[in-house]
Structure 1
Amino acid sequence: MSAQIAALEARVGEPLFRRTPRGMQPTGRGQLLYAQVAPGVDQLHAADRTLRGRGPGTVPLRLGGPADVLRVLLPALTGGAQAGVPGPLHLSVTADAAGLAGLREGSLDAVLAARVPDDRALLGTPVADVPFTLIVPGGWEAAPTNRAALGAWLNARPWVSYSAELPTTRRCFTGDLGVRFAARPALTVPDLTAVVQAVGLGVGASLVPRWAALDALTARQVTEVTGVGGAVGTARWTLLTRVADGDRPDLRALVGALSDRAAALGVSSGS
């Protein structure tokens, strides 16, 4: 592999990769070359599948995505023809970066992601727009209804989060509440079921996809903060595939099945 890269760099006339503490990273010229050759490489892979008789439905469709999203969409991904997804499935729990890497290198056929990268070799198809909601423990005092006061009220209390970065939470506070997020972190756990359970146990407040909190809201284990009109902000589920695979019927069926499942959950289809 090193010899092949060296030969390619000699042909191009400049470095295509650089060594970093996080491994080999492509240079700007390397990224440009990838964008130029990736569609052709994908077409060769598609031709290889046809020549070997490995058409859609004869080998597993490999899908990656966050565990919680895969779990809630599982009814759409199982059941064979009843779910509208032909052939077997292989599911992989992946973060966005790992999923994109798997898609680009060919170890995954599709990835559910929260963002669409700037990559001409990849196609992003919106599946659903997911509303979020602010939830607090059921035993807490009533939250203020004024938005500015609500932001200060939440910032003075402990917070339960899905990740340390909190991009959706920070956008919600800045865009919907008009204040910078500054709540004290009490618990970080990368599992939405555990996040909602922790809120119900009184650990702190949180911002979660509304579907994740529905059972706890019904059981009155948590309380929805309505000072910002209930649901706040949205996150989009997007199915990423390779442009060269745009005509694959199994991937088209997957998009339809995921959109139907999202509609059944009361989550709006992406557009």
Structure 2
Amino acid sequence: MALDLRQLRYFVAVAEEGHVTRAAERLGMQQPPLSQQIKALEGQLGLQLFRRRPRGVELTESGQVLFEEARAILARLEQAERATQSTARGEQGKLRIGVAPTAPFHPFVPAVIRAFREAYPDVSVTLDECLSRQAVQGLTEARLDAAFVRAELPDARELTIYRLIEEPMVIALPATHPLASGPGLTQRPLRDFAGESFIAFARVEGPGMFDATMAACLRAGFTPRLGQEAPRITSTLGLVAVGLGVALVPASMRRVHMDGVAYCDLVAVERPTVPLHLAARRGAGSAVLRNFVALVRRTAGAAVVGPPPTAPGP
């Protein structure tokens, strides 16, 4: 017959107190039922666990072995209970976050991830740089839990999109460009760059930046002449630095100081924006994910598009 956890707790209490009456008081029960439980345990094992003394009890050699094992078992059980409850509260577990290549340069993204790690230190957080289409694939295949994206993702039916920030865009241009100097550098109309080649950043895999560039130029009255395509924002700036064109980039990219690259603000009436959204899997969110989404939304004052993630099933 298997040992009863209740009996083990009774046994450990008596062993720790060295006295049946004191152990009964500690357990909130009467002494006779406790003595009966200890006798039943000894009968079940077929050996003596305690030596009776005038002022209490002491463990036999066999009792000492059971005492050490029983304490370890009960400690592991308590640890398992704490871990289970902590996981249910989202205080431990794993969180896999996709991050658009330009997102870490906006102070919001590193700040909110740092705040989450400080609030939930026992959650393992991993970051994966990915473009919009890669993020959608990672989320739908459950390789990611959430992702900071730049595109609108209109076809992502299995995801919930949280609108966070509409970030202004600026022109990145070669430092030797004629418009990269003089008093007019701080604000220029976008049409001043109508004759330039625009670097196409991640046109297929991350269309958010590309779409924002096309829309802004069309609103300014011209169709941009597309130059070389760049797979990453750093390579985009590299192409700008060597004079192969200009690029519309999020204003937070000013934090990237690259030799040969200057940044120019656009006049307010023509200033395009690019979104920074949080995408999350819908309906299968863990408590960890719900905590992260809640923190992000509180920080950004986000407006939700579509229903929030639902609680996981039992």
SS in 1 for 2:225: coil
1:1-271 paired onto structure 2 within 5 Å: 55=88, 56-70=90-104, 72=106, 73-78=109-114, 81-82=117-118, 87-113=123-149, 114-118=151-155, 121-142=158-179, 147=189, 151=191, 154-164=193-203, 166-175=210-219, 177-183=220-226, 185=227, 187-216=228-257, 221-226=261-266, 228-229=267-268, 232-245=271-284, 248=287, 250-254=289-293, 256-257=295-296, 260=299, 270-271=302-303
Question: Residues 189-244 of structure 1, C-alpha deviation per residue, up to 9 Å, x if partnerless?
Answer: 23323423443443321100011024549x99414054x33972112222122332
What's the TM-score, normalizing by structure 2? 0.53
| Identical aligned residues as a percent | 17
* Letter paired with 1:130: E
- Aligned mates of 2:134, 2:188 — CA distance in 1: 41
SS in 1 for 2:143: coil
Distance 1:255 1:230, change over 3 A: farther
Superposition deviation, residue 132 in structure 1: 0.8
SS in 2 for 1:178: coil
* Letter paired with 1:64: G
Moved more, 244-253 or 188-197: 244-253
* Letter paired with 1:178: G
- Aligned mates of 1:65, 1:181 — CA distance in 2: 28
- Aligned mates of 2:152, 2:158 — CA distance in 1: 15
Superposition deviation, residue 173 in structure 1: 0.4
Distance 1:119 1:216, change over 3 A: closer
Distance 1:235 1:93, change over 3 A: same
5+ long unaligned stretches in structure 2:
1-82, 205-209, 304-314
8 A Cα contact 2:112 2:295, kept in partner: no
8 A Cα contact 1:160 1:204, kept in partner: yes
- Aligned mates of 2:131, 2:188 — CA distance in 1: 36
SS in 1 for 2:279: strand
- Aligned mates of 1:256, 1:98 — CA distance in 2: 24
SS in 2 for 1:59: strand
What's the TM-score, normalizing by structure 1? 0.60
Question: Residues 71-90 of structure 1, C-alpha deviation per residue, up to 9 Å, x if partnerless?
Answer: 65234324764266761112
Q: Which one has a bigger Cα radius of gyration?
A: 2
Q: Which has the higher contact order (CA 8 A, sep 6+)?
A: 1
Q: Give aligned pairs, total.
A: 207
5+ long unaligned stretches in structure 1:
1-49, 264-268
Superposition deviation, residue 162 in structure 1: 1.8
